[in-house]
Amino acid sequence: MPLIQITGVGDYLTLAQKQDLIRKVTDAVVSVEGEGLRPVT
């Protein structure tokens, strides 16, 4: 299972942008690893 850490510098992203980033990274992982990984990603 991949481990993904995203580190941002300061407060350059809004909450909505952070949520969008997390959603898109999760979708990318699931597209490769399979939908079964979504609950733990």
On whether the CB atoms of residues 18 and 26 are closer than 8 A, the answer is no
> What span, in angstroms and rounded, lies between the C-alpha atoms of 27 and 1?
14
On whether the CB atoms of residues 6 and 28 are closer than 8 A, the answer is no
Confidence of residue 20 (pLDDT cuts 50, 70, 90): very high
Q: What is the pLDDT of residues 24-40, one digit of tens each?
A: 999 999 999 999 888 88
> What span, in angstroms and rounded, lies between the C-alpha atoms of 24 and 4?
12
Q: What pTM was computed for the model?
A: 0.76
pLDDT beyond 80 at 2: no
Q: Which residue has the tokens 């299972």?
A: 1
